[in-house]
Amino acid sequence: MGISYRIVNTDDNIISCDTTFDRSGGIFVNYIDIFLEALSAEKGRSNKTLISYASDLRLADNAIDGGLMNADQDKIQNYLSSLPDKATSIARKASALRGFYKFLMIEKIIKINPTKNLELPKRKRALPKFLSIEEIELLISSAGDVRNSLRLRAMLELLYASGLRVSELCELPMSGILGDKLLIHGKGAKERLVPMHDAAINALNKWLNVRGDTNSKYVFPSNGQTGHITRDGLFKIIKKCAVLAGIEPNRVSPHVLRHSFASHLLAGGANLRAIQTMLGHEDISTTQIYTHVMPEKLKETVNNHHPLANKKVKR
């Protein structure tokens, strides 16, 4: 059924509505689907994000009396406060609601944003896990004991050398190799250039020399449905490498290599903004968490040399 709109009451928060479905005798718009379509088309959000937003918004729509289109700040606040979820899960649900109502405001569908002054439980951000440089060397060396060792060595080198997300590595296209750099398509369809050091370039070239599949657009192709190595496949191989290297498997994952990349760069005195760019973090606060896993002496190095560290804050 197509979407149709009509003015219902300009004195209320809702300006316009839709005749696609009826609830309790009233006429409401299916703005959740419209919002999700906008996220997909304009923001380039992943299917995983869209599914998560859809679930969170529909759950709230069913739980709140009158639904999301008739919710005020108190109803939203009470709903979030009633959830038995962890603080991180509640924060994610609140983020979905904020995005939804922001969209409705921009589209002039509502006049008041009920999520403007929400109070949420404080999130306790878990510190990132990372391996020591010696453990990284052991892990990469253990790739030689695994079938398809050239492919695995290249993947491990790239994860650690360039701080790639697991999906970015698995879906890396041949067109993304630009000499000593990689063109990465990250979250939100954002592109970034990340450098590779000599060891990573050498490992990648050795793999490309034996890769064989000239028809695939992926650097690490497979015969599966996706056409490239899957996240699960990569996880399993890396866990096997951890066992061979004498490292607890539960301490090793593609994301741990990404954390190790950032932590070791920061410990070596790298600029926090440069690390943010290479990781593809939208907000510098996400990158700053790596300062919390460093010894005090290394924190001093960052505080003394980072360009924003000594900036005076007005109180």
- Which of 98, 129, 181, 187 is labelled catalytic? 187
- Which of 31, 53, 79, 290 is labelled catalytic? 290
Pairing of strands 191-195, 21-23: unpaired
CA 185, CA 85: separation in Å to the nearest integer?
Answer: 32
Four-point Cα dihedral 265, 267, 268, 272, nearest 10: 60
Q: In this structure, are residues 210 and 219 in contact, taking their beta carbons and an 8 Å threshold?
A: no
CA 207, CA 195: separation in Å to the nearest integer?
Answer: 18
**DSSP letter, residue 173:** B
Catalytic, 6? Answer: no
DSSP per residue over 88-128, as a string? Answer: HHHHHHHHHHHHHHHHHHHTTSBSS-TTTT---PPP-PPPP
Catalytic, 306? Answer: no
Catalytic, 187? Answer: yes
- Which of 93, 151, 165, 306 is labelled catalytic? 165
- Which of 98, 181, 255, 299 is labelled catalytic? 255
Q: CA–CA distance from 176 to each of 166, 181, 194 (Å)?
A: 15, 8, 10
- Which of 102, 181, 206, 281 is labelled catalytic? 281
Q: CA–CA distance from 283 to each of 43, 273, 288, 289, 295 (Å)?
A: 17, 10, 9, 11, 23
- Which of 93, 258, 259, 306 is labelled catalytic? 258
Active site residues: 165, 187, 255, 258, 281, 290
